[in-house]
Amino acid sequence: MLIPREGKGIHFQSLEISRPVPPPLPVRRGVWENEKLLEGAAGVAVSSDKLDADYIKRYLGDLTPLQESCLIRLRRWLQETHKGKIPKDEHILRFLRARDFNIDKAREILCQSLTWRKQHQVDYLLDTWSSPHVLHDYYTGGWHHHDKDGRPLYILRLGHMDTKGLVRALGEESLLRHVLSINEEGLRRCEENTKVFGRPISCWTCLVDLEGLNMRHLWRPGVKALLRIIEVVEANYPETLGRLLILRAPRVFPVLWTLVSPFIDENTRKKFLIYAGNDYQGPGGLVDYIDKEIIPDFLGGECMCEVPEGGLVPKSLYRTAEELENDEIRLWTETIYQSASIFKGAPHELLIEIIDASSVITWDFDVCKGDVIFNIYHSKRAPQPPRKDPLATHGITSPAGNNVQLIDKSWLLGQDYSMVESPLTCKEGESVQGSHVTRWPGFYILQWKFHSMPACATTNLPRVDDVLATLQVSSHKCKVMYYTEVLGSEDFRGSMTSLESSHSGFSQLSAATTSSSQSQSNSMISR
C-alpha cells in the first residue's frame, strides 16, 4: 500500500550537475537544481528575493505572502549550506507544507531526507531499478490514466495480493525498492501532467481495492514490512497523496487499520475515503473523482485495466534467508526470517524467555523440506548453552549455526519441562501460523523435530523406496524457515477476537460489509 501525502510535489527532471557522476551510474534524476536563476513558465527570471507571480501560478499553486517568504528563506539557507546545489522549490515547499510552514521543523526533516536520498542513491532509482519478474506477475498494482483533477491514478488490488508470498520470494528489500520506484514514477507523471494541463499537478490519487482481503493478509511479518515501508514513504515523500479511495472494505479492514493508522500522518488520514460493499457505485462514489470512461472493468466499468490479477506466489519461487541476505545492496533492514535444518535425532529448538505471564508467543514458519513435528515446552529453569551441529562429528555437514538443541537428554518430560501445546505434524510445503498465550513466566522452547514416516501397516517387509531412502543422508534432513515474536496480550491483533474488539470505530462500515470468516484455531495451516 502506498501512503504518501498530498502537496505540491517535486518535478524530477534531467539535471545539470556541477561535477561528473562516477560510473556506472547514469545522470541522476532528483530533487536538485543548480543555483542559477530559475526560468518561469513564461520565461521570466525568478530572483532569490521574490518569486514571479506567473511562476507561482504555473508550478507551485496558491501561496500566501507568508508562505512565499518561508519558501524563500529556507531556499536561501540551503543555498548557503549546500554550496550552490539546492532542491527545487517544489520539493522545499513539500516539506514546508508537511510542517505547516514551520521553517525549523521543515528544515530538519528536509535535510534528513536529502541525506537519505544521497545515501541510498534514490535519484538513480528509475534508471537502475529493474523489477523482478515475480513483481510483474504477482504485484497487483499499476498506473491507470488520471482522475478528474488531472492527478495520476494508481490502482492497488490489495485483496488479491499474496503479501506473504512476495515477502518470501523477494524479501523486504526488493519490495521497498519497488514502492520507492512507484513514488519516483508518480512524481515524474505529476511533472508530465503539469505540462499537459498547464497547471500544477503535484500529487496523485491512489485507489485501493480490498475485495478478497482476509486474515491471511494480517500475517505479522508482512504487516511489519508494510509499516516500515509506510515509515520510509512518510519521511521522504510528504504531501504527495491527493486522495486515497478505499473500495470494498471487508470486516477485517478495521484490524489492518488499527495496525497501520498510528504510522500515518493525521493530515494524510483525512484524505482517505472508505467505501464498504458496492457503495462506491452510488452517489459520492467513484464517478465523483474518476471519469466513467476509465473506471476499471473489475469495478463495474468498461475500461480494461492492466493491473495484474495477482494470486498465490508459487512456493517454488520462495528464497532462503541466506539467499535474501546475499541478494543485493541492503537499504534498510535485515531479513526477519531464520532458517534451520532438522535431522533425525537432532531437532531444532528455540528458547524464549517470558517475564510477564499472559504474554503471547506468535510464530510463522514454512516447511521447506521433509515433514516435521512442532512442539512447545515450558521449563522453570534455563537450559544449558545450546549444542550445535551434533552430526558434524559423524562427518555429516550442515550449515553452520542453523541447528540448535536446548533440551538436555537427561531432562525428563513432566519433571524438568512440560508440554504446553499438542504436537502438530506439518507436511512439506505447508505454511503454519499460530500463537500461544503464556500462563507462567519462565522459559518456553519451540521445537521442530524430524517426523519419521510410519511403517507399512499391511506387511512387515520393507519397501524398496524405504531401503533406498535409508542410504541417503538427505532423506534424514528437514528444513524450515521461521519467524517468532513475543507480544503483550494488549498488543495482540492477530485473532478474530481482536477483530471483533476493533469494530466500534467502524460500526457503519462493518454493518455494510459481508460477514467475516469464522474464528480460527491458534495454529492454522494455509496450503
Return d(Cα 62, Cα 57) in angstroms, integer: 7
pLDDT, residue 49, reads 66
Residue 447 corresponds to which cell in the numbers above?
521445537
Spatial separation of the C-alpha atoms in residues 51 and 163, rounded to whole Å: 46
Provide the grid cell at 407: 533440551
Residue 115 lies in a domain: yes
**What's 304's domain CATH number?**
3.40.525.10
Q: What is the pLDDT of residue 418?
A: 95
Q: Which of 97, 123, 149 is the last residue of a domain?
A: 123
Last residue of a domain, one of 68, 103, 123: 123
The yes-or-no verdict on residue 480 having pLDDT over 90 is no
Percent of the chain scored above 70 by pLDDT? 73
Instruction: Please tell me whether residues 119 and 140 are part of one structural domain.
Output: no
pLDDT for 83 equals 56
Compute the distance between CA of residue 295 and CA of residue 102 in angstroms, rounded to an integer: 40
Whole-structure pTM value? 0.67
Q: What is the pLDDT of residues 99-120, one digit of tens each?
A: 999 999 998 898 888 878 877 7
- Residue 463's alpha-carbon distances to 47, 453, 457, 467, 470, in angstroms, are 88, 12, 11, 6, 11
Asked if residue 333 belongs to a domain, the reply is: no
Say if residue 175 is in the same domain as residue 107: no
Are 140 and 287 within one domain? Answer: yes
Domain carrying residue 101: 53-123
Whether 108 and 154 map to the same domain: the answer is no
Please report the sign of the dihedral spanned by the C-alpha atoms of residue 106, residue 107, residue 110, residue 116.
negative
Does residue 197 contact residue 471 with C-beta atoms inside 8 Å? Answer: no
Give the pLDDT confidence of 154-178 residue by residue, as tens digits. Answer: 999 999 999 999 998 988 888 999 9
Q: By C-alpha distance, which of 233, 210, 220 is closest to 259? A: 220
Task: Mark whether 397 and 269 lie in a shared domain.
Answer: no
pLDDT of the residue at 399: 40
Are 169 and 111 within one domain?
Answer: no
Q: What are 26-58's pLDDT values in tens digits?
A: 445 566 664 333 433 333 334 556 788 888 888
The Cβ of residue 47 has, within 10 Å, a number of other Cβ atoms equal to 10
β-strand pairing of 424-426 with 404-405? unpaired
220-236 helix and 253-260 helix, angle to the nearest 10 degrees: 50
For residue 18, pLDDT over 70 is answered with no
Mean pLDDT of the chain: 77
What is the pLDDT at residue 314? 93
Asked if the structure places residue 163 within a domain, the reply is yes
pLDDT at residue 224 is higher than 60? yes
Please determine, for residue 291, whether its predicted confidence score (pLDDT) is greater than 90: yes
79 and 210 co-located in one domain? no
Residue 425 confidence class, pLDDT cut points 50, 70, 90:
very high
- Does residue 228 form part of some domain? yes
Which of the four pLDDT bands, split at 50, 70 and 90, describes residue 236?
very high
Candidate from 18-22, 91-95, 237-241 with smallest mean pLDDT: 18-22
Number of other residues whose CB lies within 10 A of the CB of residue 87: 23
- The pair phi, psi for residue 15, each rounded to 5°, is -115, 155
The CATH number of the domain holding residue 117 is 1.10.8.20
Instruction: Tell which residue, 91, 85, 86, has the closest CA to residue 106.
Output: 91
CA distance 286 to 27: 40
Flag whether pLDDT at 413 surpasses 60. yes
Residue 41 CB-density burial (10 A; 0-12 exposed, 13-18 middle, 19+ buried): middle
In the chain, DSSP finds a helix count (H) and a strand count (E) of: 14, 23
d(CA 57, CA 52) in angstroms, rounded, equals 9
| Domain count of the fold of the chain | 3
Same domain, 136 and 89: no
pLDDT reported for residue 326: 64
- Domain membership of residue 2 (yes or no) is no
**Structural domain contains residue 198:** yes
Residues 6+ apart with CB under 8 A from 458: none
Q: Is residue 258 part of a domain?
A: yes
Greater confidence, 5 or 293?
Answer: 293
Q: Which of 39-43, 176-180, 301-305, 410-414 has the lowest mean pLDDT?
A: 39-43
Q: Which tens digit of pLDDT belongs to each residue from 444-470?
A: 999 999 987 655 444 454 544 444 444
Q: C-alpha angle 403/407/409, rounded to 5°?
A: 110
Phi-psi region of 475 (alpha: psi -120 to 50; beta: other; left: phi over 0): alpha
For 117-129, the DSSP string reads HHHTTGGGHHHH-
pLDDT digits (tens, 9 = 90+) for 498-521: 333 332 233 233 333 333 333 233
Closest CA to 338 of 353, 354, 325: 325
- Give bridge partners of residue 38 from the DSSP assignment: 46
Burial status of residue 344 (CB atoms within 10 A of its CB: 0-12, 13-18, 19 or more): middle
The residue from 317, 351, 366 where one domain ends is 317
* Same-domain check for residues 231 and 165: yes
pLDDT at residue 471, as a whole number:
41
Same-domain check for residues 146 and 292: yes
* 307, 342: one domain: no
Q: Quick one: average pLDDT of 60-83? A: 86
CATH number of the domain that residue 463 is part of? 2.60.120.680
Residue 20: pLDDT over 60: no
Separation CA 481–CA 473 (nearest Å): 20
**Residue 429, domain member (yes or no):** yes
118 lies in the same domain as 138: no
